[in-house]
Structure 1
Amino acid sequence: MSVQTEQPAKDRGLYLPFLAPVYERLDPLAFLALRVATGLLLVPHGAQKLFGWFGGGGIAGTAGWLESVGYQAPTVLALLIGLVEFVGGLLIAFGLLTRPAAAATAVFMAFAVSFHLGNGFFWTARGYEYPILWGLAAAFFAIKGAGAYSIDKKIGREI
């Protein structure tokens, strides 16, 4: 049984078929840009939780907040969340161990979505808009892998 792969741009029924070579050339670069942005936008949030940078509370502040909203083992949870965002973000950005890092991020973001559901959709009201966006981006890389321009691809191994 063969697995159907993505069709080349020229075979996709494009409205403007002359753009097919442009799309084919830009495809791996778009993949790279989204992966790097996804990873690097997570890093400062992890730095807030782990180190107290960028106005964050560090482990103690994050753990205190988690405890105040009823979570058990708040210090362990604060450390795990910080590591997923900081280390996981760097791994995603560099394209190293991308699938497991992105899967961990997607799971954490599902947790974050559930926490923010009561605030509605919009992030301006601390709703679930932001975590669902990054959770879906992370899920994409957990499923698709790092792409052509990645350390995973360079070493020829991925999980």
Structure 2
Amino acid sequence: MMEILNDLLQTDPNWVYTLCRLVAGIIIFPYGMQKLFGWFDDFGGGVGIKQSLLSFKSKKIPAAIAWLVIIGQSFGSIMLMVGFFARFAAIANFIIFVGALLSHREDGWTMNWVGSKKGEGIEYFILLLTLLIVVIFKGSGVFSVDFLLWKLRK
């Protein structure tokens, strides 16, 4: 068990990993807070928990999965921003955004910059998934709770 904990916390003192983690957390944060509290404009998932759950239900996504998405984006984005069990948060959000990518794959590669397409493309999701992969494999970076806890364990 301690070995698993050590593996989750282990990270290199590298500012690139810190930057990838922070950017991923900042990108995901408004989506989570919009679903949880109704903050920010509608990102396509409802506004607040009640509307978000209704939106997921209209897309035939089970309530249990909807709750996991709301919790994963809300708390996972904060975990990424502070670097606390960031690998776990990155894995959870990787799964969430692979689902988002799959649901948008029919909309093509590019985002809907001029409003001429039915939906958004997948380029945004590819970029976000790439940042999350870096965190999954390399950890939180130097400026993180994970790094501090890992250093204390040594």
Query: What is residue 66 of structure 2 aligned with on the other side?
Result: 78
* Equivalent residues in 2 for 1:1-159, closer than 5 Å: 28-56=14-42, 57-73=47-63, 76-124=64-112, 125-156=119-150
- How far is the alpha carbon of 1:111 from its aligned partner? 0.9
Shift of residue 52 of structure 1? 1.0
% identical aligned pairs? 28
Note if contact 2:20-2:132 (Cα within 8 Å) is conserved in structure 1.
no
Structure 2: tracts of 5 or more residues without a match? 1-12, 113-118
Q: Which one has the largest radius of gyration?
A: 1
Q: 1-side partners of 2:19 and 2:61: how far apart? A: 35
Counterpart residue identity of residue 88, structure 1: G
Name structure 1 gaps, 5 residues minimum.
1-26
Instruction: Give the root-mean-square deviation of aligned CA atoms.
Output: 2.0
The aligned amino acid for 1:93 is: M
Q: Please give the alpha-carbon distance, in whole angstroms, between the structure 1 residues aligned to 2:15 and 2:139.
A: 14
TM-score, length-scaled by structure 2: 0.76
Q: What is the deviation of 1:31? A: 2.9
Task: Give the AA of the match of 1:154.
Answer: L
Contact 1:59 1:78 (C-alpha < 8 Å) held by counterparts: no
Counterpart of 2:6 in structure 1 is none
Question: Partners in 1 of 2:66 and 2:24 — Cα distance?
Answer: 21
Contact preservation (8 Å) 1:84, 1:101: yes
CA–CA distance in 2 between the matches of 1:35 and 1:28?
A: 11
**In the alignment, is the contact (CA less than 8 A) between 2:17 and 2:138 conserved in 1?**
no
The answer to which structure has the higher helix fraction is 1
CA distance in 2, matches of 1:94, 1:103: 16
The structure, 1 or 2, with the larger RCO (C-alpha pairs under 8 Å, 6+ apart) is: 2
- Contact kept, 8 Å, 1:106 with 1:136, in 2: the verdict is no
Q: Are the equivalent residues in 2 in contact too, given 1:94–1:150 (CA < 8 A)?
A: yes
Contact 2:17 2:134 in 1 (8 A): no
Residue 141 of structure 2 aligns to a residue whose secondary structure is coil
Deviations 1:53-75 (A, max 9, x none): 112411221222222222232xx
